[in-house]
Structure 1
Amino acid sequence: MEQSIRTQPPGPRRRPPTPAAAEAAVPGPATPPDSRLRTASGPRPRTAPRIRLRLRLPLRLPTAPRRRGGRPTRLTAVGTGVVAVLATLAVALVDRLLFGGLGVLFGLGYLAICFQLAVRVRLSDLPAAPISGPIAFAAALVLCQPDPAHGITGHVVSLAAGLALRAGWLFAGTGLAVLIVGARFLAQRRIRRSR
């Protein structure tokens, strides 16, 4: 009797659990967690199946691919010629429709086109900007003259007269393109030498 008192810890005596109570208290690895409720309170009542909706937020809309860096798109030699002719013809047609001839609007448009061509052309195709500008200018004069001439000689004479009357715009736009292209070429050459 004395030995049993000495070996037991102080406090009330614990009774060993019965097998039914042990199963109800702790579910085993083979029994699902809901078996505890079924054994304690009887069979579980059937309920409507739960429908789980999964929404993925935020919704991402397709966007245009981003370009790397902030550099403008560069034009090739052929692209420079095509853009020069189309843009110059468009400005010439607008000027002819609004004012009945090729005047100040056509000249200012040509200056803007030459500037954009010289800025956006690729470094390997720099000479294309000053060359394509005058070609587009001459094409606009031939196609958009207010009084069309008859025959080849008439076209040549009207082209020469148009170039003589608008030589200031032609030289200003072409000179602007030459200056920008030359500055870009020298800057690229200095960058290559510094490396």
Structure 2
Amino acid sequence: MEQSIRTQPPGPRRRRPPGTGGAAAVPGPAAPPEPGAAGPPRPAGARVPAARLRLRLRLPSALGAAGRERRRSGRPARLTAVGTGVLALGGTLAAAAVDRLLFDGLGVLFGLGYLVVCFQAAVRVRLADLPAAPISGPIAFAVALLLLGPVSASGVTAQVVALASGLATRAGWLFTGTALAAVIVAARFVAQRRFRRSRNSG
């Protein structure tokens, strides 16, 4: 008994909690989480980080603002030189086909359709391809006359004569549509140069 009392260190004894085993658990460093293990579940009332919340709020607002600006501006889509030629040829051929189907010839409806096509081509062509509008119009006009115009006889010579006579009889529509496209293109070119000068001087 005396020997056991001597071997114990001086001071009060530590009491073990009831229900523990022979050896008490010694606290140590926490084990690192496994790579594949998911983190602790986020509570229902946890806040989303401020940067992520701002990003979520900005994306829908930016998209909505862009859509509203596009609807307000109402600017037509700009066409390249190839697109302008396709528009002029397709629109002129459509007007010629409808005129020939309804009135068995190329008359007023064909001329009005050509004016509309020249106006649309001059308005929709982009600034880098402005000369394409007044050039593609007469080419489309001649192709429409060559394909859908009346031909009295067969052969290359008869087609050339029919094309020349068709251009001569419908020269008013041809010159009016081409002049309309040229005026619109010139006005857009001058306006763009003035805008660039004012921006550079300012």
Give the TM-score normalised by structure 1.
0.64
2:146 alignment partner, one of 142, 146, 151: 142
1:164 aligns with 2:168: yes
1:76 aligns with 2:102: no
CA deviations 1:138-178 (Å, max 9, x no partner) are 00000001336421111111100000000000000000000
Q: Do the aligned residues in 2 keep the contact of 1:118 with 1:180 (CA within 8 Å)?
A: yes
Structure 1 residue ranges without an equivalent (≥5): 1-64
Structure 2 residue ranges without an equivalent (≥5): 1-65
- Residue 59 of structure 1 corresponds to none
CA deviations 1:8-60 (Å, max 9, x no partner) are xxxxxxxxxxxxxxxxxxxxxxxxxxxxxxxxxxxxxxxxxxxxxxxxxxxxx
2:195 alignment partner, one of 184, 191, 195: 191
Structure with more of its chain in helix, by fraction: 2
Query: C-alpha distance in 2, partners of 1:116/1:152?
Result: 33
**Percent of aligned positions that are identical:** 73
- How many equivalent pairs are there? 131
Matches within 5 A, 1:114-125: 114-125=118-129
CA deviations 1:107-127 (Å, max 9, x no partner) are 011001100100000000000
Larger radius of gyration: 1
Query: C-alpha distance in 2, partners of 1:179/1:155?
Result: 32
Q: How well do the aligned residues superpose, as a CA RMSD in angstroms? A: 1.5
Q: Do the aligned residues in 2 keep the contact of 1:149 with 1:158 (CA within 8 Å)?
A: no
Q: Do the aligned residues in 1 keep the contact of 2:151 with 2:158 (CA within 8 Å)?
A: no
Q: Do the aligned residues in 2 keep the contact of 1:96 with 1:146 (CA within 8 Å)?
A: no
1:151 alignment partner, one of 141, 148, 155: 155
Query: C-alpha distance in 1, partners of 2:152/2:195?
Result: 50
1:89 alignment partner, one of 86, 89, 93: 93
Matches within 5 A, 1:97-116: 97-116=101-120
The AA in structure 1 aligned to 2:95 is V
The AA in structure 2 aligned to 1:135 is I
Residue 70 (structure 1) shift: 2.5
1:132 aligns with 2:104: no
- Residue 19 of structure 1 corresponds to none
Give the TM-score normalised by structure 2.
0.62
Secondary structure of the residue that 1:102 maps to in structure 2? coil
